Amino acid sequence: MSADIIDGKAFAATIRGKVADHVKALHDEHGLVPGLAVVLVGEDPASQVYVRNKGKQTEEAGMASFEHRLPAETSEEDLLALIARLNAAPAVHGILVQLPLPDHIDEAKVINAIDVAKDVDGFHISNVGLLATGQKALVPCTPLGCLMLLRDRLGALSGLDAVVVGRSNIVGKPMAHLLLRDSCTVTVAHSRTRDLAQVCRRADILVAAVGRPEMIPGDWIKPGATVIDVGINRIPAPERGEGKTRLVGDVHFESAAQVAGAITPVPGGVGPMTIACLLANTVTACCRAHGLVEPEGLTA
């Protein structure tokens, strides 16, 4: 193996430390406590784990955590009424509605009902537009985390060839905009891209966010490239015993690590950065709401 392993777990802990320092300063100097409200509708097991972790890490950083767990049958009207209350609550600086929502609820309608200034997921249509036009936005947490890892590893990204595999609204598209803003030459590839291998081979920066286990092998990677693997896929692992599973990314780690200059592992790469960036976005939203200086190194 030749690649350096990018330790997202350690980097996320550093970000959370910076967040906690800033939270303390906001409290000591301005009597402010940033608050994050998380809304979970229904009982999706993965979502429940995420929400629990978000609440725990929010409190560990010294912020206020407000959790709203609603039954799966909650009407769209009731959910919109809750969002209106959270929009109006001065103690709430960030609002996150955990996705996916049950089928009877219009996801876009709910997300666009969140106050743009409290949209710490960066999914509101106005934040999407602000990011796309290079204006000050709240930026989706996972791509923000990827950008932080890339800047930490590479310094300035200007002029580098970046290939983003995946075109989702949550990762692929905002990632492309962030890389463009840092003056990369950006290609967005996806499941219909012709000769995906050849497209990937020109990447100095390869971001994989397709949700297909180990789809990208080492021979698609340019020697020395920086590889950011956003995928978190659970696959059967019979070698660990009957019924056992393991987590893998969208990149075939063992072969990619022979070629890349640096690579994020799964787990322990991009994953821990997402909640760290959610906390960072909440502090940013709190500072903006009160006209205060934003935390350095915690925004895009």
- Between 27 and 66, CB nearer to ligand GUN: 66
- Between 21 and 76, CB nearer to ligand GUN: 76
In the residue annotation, 54 being an active-site residue is answered as yes
In the residue annotation, 121 being an active-site residue is answered as yes
Interacting residue with ligand GUN among 19, 40, 141, 221 (CB under 6 A)? 141
Q: Is the dihedral of CA 142, 99, 50, 212 positive or negative?
A: negative
d(Cα 62, Cα 251) in Å, to the nearest integer? 36
Q: Which residue is nearest to ligand GUN (CB)?
A: 99
Catalytic site residue from 18, 118, 119, 121: 121
CB of 99 to ligand GUN, least distance (A): 4
- Between 114 and 225, CB nearer to ligand GUN: 114
Residues 161-180 that bind ligand GUN (CB under 6 A): 170
8 Å CB contact between 209 and 231: yes
Interacting residue with ligand GUN among 115, 119, 121, 182 (CB under 6 A)? 121
Query: Does residue 232 touch ligand GUN according to CB under 6 A?
Result: no
In the residue annotation, 173 being an active-site residue is answered as no
232 marked as part of a ligand binding site: yes
Of 277, 270, 271, nearest to 16 by C-alpha is 277
Q: If binding means CB under 6 A, how many residues of this protein chain bind ligand GUN?
A: 8
Distances in whole angstroms, Cα of residue 113 to Cα of each of 3, 83, 125: 44, 7, 10
Residues 76-115 that bind ligand GUN (CB under 6 A): 96-99
Strands of 166-291 (E only): list them. Answer: 185-189, 205-208, 226-229, 233-236, 245-248, 262-263
- Between 99 and 180, CB nearer to ligand GUN: 99
d(Cα 2, Cα 260) in Å, to the nearest integer? 7
8 Å CB contact between 26 and 32: yes
Strands of the chain (E only): list them. Answer: 4-5, 35-41, 64-70, 94-97, 161-165, 185-189, 205-208, 226-229, 233-236, 245-248, 262-263
168 marked as part of a ligand binding site: yes
167 marked as part of a ligand binding site: yes
Give the active site residues.
54, 98, 121
Q: Which residues are annotated as a binding site?
A: 166-168, 232
Residues in contact with ligand GUN by the rule CB under 6 A:
96-99, 121, 141-142, 170
Report the binding-site residues for NADP(+).
Answer: 166-168, 232
